[in-house]
């Protein structure tokens, strides 16, 4: 049984169509990253799937249940971590989490055990009795992350969970996501950072202007572009115009060197003779498989 199934899902705000006929299936135990730039419709889709917003039309089933008639039962099976932290600043993590556990009908004894276990996993146990108001953004988000896990959900939704966080908090949350998924929890995570999805996802869906333009296993999505791409790193020079090299796509200058990216399909054998003829000082040559960024650009004609 699929964890999430949507059919012809539409969301309109007046004449503006935020979601356009989204049909999607996410399997049990998947770690599915929903990708796309800000405004693509990712957060709108998550709000609908978690029962926080009604679609204009279309059908949604979560854990086999119909969202239109069984939303209360569905909410007992899902957790949501949004970029907006929902905590009371004057309370400690334990006080905050006990309050939310009571709202989820989790008994105090069971809740306390789960709270302490999870605080330890996110490296926040030493802060359990400190008021949340003194915490950094990353620390608050780690506690917020626990809030979504108090009732042991089958499906966890994370809407840009690492946006604006410090490296330690980002790494902690990312590791927790992997661990939870390995334990059998289905995870749906939104991000506009393609590299984040490549590091963590099993499957991906790419959204653009309210449409789901591609969805499938990560390796299949990347494999849809069958051509590798080459990056040549050379010593910077004001004498040469790198755009004149055949196959040139873009360049990045940093610390006295230039990284020249070539169009997909151009091989080292194609490129190297032209680079050497220009008498450029080559520092490195790298041939890579297509990235999700490459797939996004190919599908939309835009950079993410």
State pLDDT tens for residues 97-119. Answer: 999 999 999 999 999 999 999 99
> What per-residue confidence (pLDDT) applies to 94?
98
Cβ distance 176 to 142 under 8 Å? no
Mean pLDDT calculated for residue range 94-99: 98
Residue 152 structural domain: 2-223
Mean pLDDT calculated for residue range 44-49: 96
Checking if the pLDDT of 239 tops 70, the result is no
234 & 156 share domain: no
pLDDT digits 0-9 by tens, 167-182: 999 899 999 999 999 9
Specify if 293 maps to a domain. no
CATH number of the domain where residue 250 is located: 3.30.70
183 & 35 share domain: yes
Checking if the pLDDT of 204 tops 70, the result is yes
Q: Which of 10-24, 148-162, 251-265 has the lowest mean pLDDT?
A: 251-265
- 50-54: long-range contacts, CB 8 A cutoff, minimum separation 24: 50/75, 50/78, 50/80, 50/157, 51/75, 51/78, 52/80, 53/11
236 & 189 share domain: no
91 & 181 share domain: yes
Burial grade of 252 (CB within 10 A; 0-12, 13-18, 19 or more): exposed
| Angle between helix 167-182 and 137-147 (nearest 10) | 20
Checking if the pLDDT of 162 tops 70, the result is yes
Specify if 45 maps to a domain. yes
Average pLDDT, the chain: 90
- Name which residue leads in pLDDT, 289 or 196: 196
89 & 234 share domain: no
Residue of 61, 24, 18 whose CA lies nearest to 38: 18
238 & 216 share domain: no
Question: How far apart are alpha carbons 41 and 113 in whole angstroms?
Answer: 37
Mean pLDDT calculated for residue range 255-259: 87
Question: How far apart are alpha carbons 169 and 144 in whole angstroms?
Answer: 12
177 & 236 share domain: no
> What per-residue confidence (pLDDT) applies to 226?
65
Query: What's the number of domains the chain is made of?
Result: 2
Specify if 193 maps to a domain. yes
pLDDT digits 0-9 by tens, 64-86: 999 999 999 999 999 999 888 88
Q: Which residues pair with 212 in a beta bridge?
A: 207
Checking if the pLDDT of 304 tops 60, the result is no
Checking if the pLDDT of 282 tops 70, the result is yes
Question: How far apart are alpha carbons 200 and 190 in whole angstroms?
Answer: 12
Specify if 258 maps to a domain. yes
Checking if the pLDDT of 302 tops 70, the result is no
CATH number of the domain where residue 192 is located: 3.40.50.300
- Name which residue leads in pLDDT, 124 or 293: 124
159 & 271 share domain: no
Residue 23's pLDDT band (cuts 50, 70, 90): very high
């Amino acid at each position: 049984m699929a964890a999430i199934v949507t059919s012809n899902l539409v969301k309109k705000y007046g004449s503006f169509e935020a979601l356009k006929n989204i049909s999607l299936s996410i399997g049990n135990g998947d770690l599915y990253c929903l990708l796309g730039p800000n405004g693509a419709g990712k957060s709108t889709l998550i709000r609908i799937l978690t029962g926080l917003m009604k679609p204009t039309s279309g059908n949604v089933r979560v854990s086999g249940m119909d969202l239109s008639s069984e939303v209360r039962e569905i909410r007992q099976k899902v957790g949501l971590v949004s970029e907006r932290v929902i905590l009371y600043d004057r309370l400690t993590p334990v006080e905050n989490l006990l309050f939310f556990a009571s709202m989820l009908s989790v008994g105090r004894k069971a809740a306390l055990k789960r709270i302490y276990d999870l605080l330890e996993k996110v490296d926040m146990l030493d802060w359990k009795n400190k008021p949340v108001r003194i915490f950094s953004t990353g620390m608050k988000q780690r506690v917020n992350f626990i809030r979504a896990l108090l009732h042991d959900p089958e499906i966890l939704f994370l809407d840009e969970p690492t946006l604006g966080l410090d490296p330690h908090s980002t790494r902690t949350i990312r590791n927790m996501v992997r661990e939870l998924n390995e334990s059998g929890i289905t995870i749906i995570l939104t991000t506009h950072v393609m590299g984040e999805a490549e590091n963590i996802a099993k499957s991906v869906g790419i959204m653009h202007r309210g449409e789901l333009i591609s969805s499938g296993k990560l390796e299949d999505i990347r494999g849809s572009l069958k051509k590798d791409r080459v990056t040549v790193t050379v010593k910077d020079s004001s004498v040469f115009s790198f755009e004149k090299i055949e196959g040139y796509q873009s360049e990045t200058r940093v610390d006295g060197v230039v990284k020249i990216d070539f169009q997909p399909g151009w091989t080292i054998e194609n490129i190297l003779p032209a680079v050497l003829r220009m008498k450029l000082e080559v520092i490195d040559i790298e041939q890579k498989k297509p990235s999700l960024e490459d797939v996004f650009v190919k599908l939309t004609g835009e950079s993410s």
